[in-house]
Structures are given as C-alpha cells and as structure tokens.
Amino acid sequence: MATERHYSPIDRFLLQADAAMKTLLPASAHAHRPSPAIVQPDTKMSEVDTKHVAGLMRINHTGEVCAQALYQGQALTAKLPHVRKAMEHAAEEEIDHLVWCEQRIRQLGSHTSVLNPLFYGMSFGIGAVAGLISDKVSLGFVAATEDQVCKHLNEHLEQLPIEDEKSRAILEQMRTDEEQHAEGAIDAGGFRFPRPVKFGMSLLAKVMTKSTYRI
C-alpha cells in the first residue's frame, strides 16, 4: 500500500483508465462476494413484471456505475492518504453491486443502459471536483449520495413482485452496504450537506432514473 505514494501521474491515469474500462465494459468486472441471488429460487414472472424488474435493476446498475466513477474521481484528488484509501476500498465493495445487478439484468433477458458512459463521465468529474475542494466535502458528498441510493433501493424493494426473491436479496444486501458507506463517511469527518443541496442531488438522481429505466 505504501508504494502507492510513488505512483507517477501517468501511472494514476492508466489505473483510472483501467478502472473505467472494467466499470463500463460488460462482464469485465469481478465481484469479491457471490451474489445473494444465488441461494434464492428461480421463479417465473409475467412478461410485464419481468420487464419492470429489468428496468429497476438497470437503474441500480447505472447507479453503481456512477458510484464507481464518483469514488474513483475522489480517490484521484483526495489530499489525505487515508481518505484516498477509504475511497478506493469503498469502490471495491461497490464492484460487487455492479456485478450483481448486471448478472440479474442478463438473467431477466435485458441489457444495461447505453447511457452509462455519459453518467460515468459526469460522476467522475463531480467526484474529482469534490476531492479538490476538500476531503471533508468529498466524504460528505459520499454520505449524501449513499443516502439517495438507499431511498431509491427502498422504493424499488416496494415495487418488486413478491415472487422475485433473487432481485430482493440483491437489493437488500446493497442497502445494507450503502448504509454502512454513508455512516463511515460521516464518521471519517464528512460534512453533512444542507437540505437544499440534497434536494438538488435528488433532482439529478430523478433524471438518471427516468432515462435509464428503458435505455
């Protein structure tokens, strides 16, 4: 871990490019934990329900793409080594969510969003700017983002067909992890964003969810 301080700017650029490719290219990322859906039974759903669940999981997958980009951007500009490491560790855990959502989308016979590169670029830029401002703001942005993610997960859990235990298991584990990330960011000294800022973030989140549900 100590050798990380000796990485050149070119090394860091190449590492970020590799992370971006793994995030955006289908089936290129590998989870550290098996999907919670594995132990759940296969159930048959109607065509309407299948299409709806695929849309919800596509939204969650894009959310994880954004999370990866956000953490990677913050890690690139974080000033304190322990904050950078925390961002990189969180990004590794989010990879599990990315892979689980993609696997479930494929099982449902659907596809990930074609808008992922756009949202990745936007989120990476936001993360990098937050890191440049201060580590406290960067950590606060993580906490606020994870709070938004948890709200979406709760909404999606309510919309899932009762028989879809596979998707439910994935989203419930994701919610647990996201709650821990939010708490960890605040405990590490993150700034608690005021309500107007959180409201603005929720509006941006709605744009993402509406656009990626179908495409």
DSSP state of 108: T
Q: Is 97 known to sit in a ligand binding site? A: yes
Q: 103-131: buried (b, 16+ CB within 10 Å) or exposed (e) per residue?
A: bbbebbeeebbeebeebbeebbebbbebb
Q: Is 156 known to sit in a ligand binding site? A: no
Please enumerate in sequence order all residues whose Cβ is within 8 A of that of 95, keeping only pairs 6 or more positions apart, or say none. 22, 29, 30, 31, 32, 68
Q: Is 178 known to sit in a ligand binding site? A: yes
Q: Is 102 known to sit in a ligand binding site? A: no
Q: Is 93 known to sit in a ligand binding site? A: no
Q: Which of 99, 118, 113 is nearest to 56 (CA)?
A: 113
Q: Is 183 known to sit in a ligand binding site? A: no
Residues forming the annotated binding site?
64, 94, 97, 146, 178, 181
Residues flagged as binding site for Fe cation: 64, 94, 97, 146, 178, 181
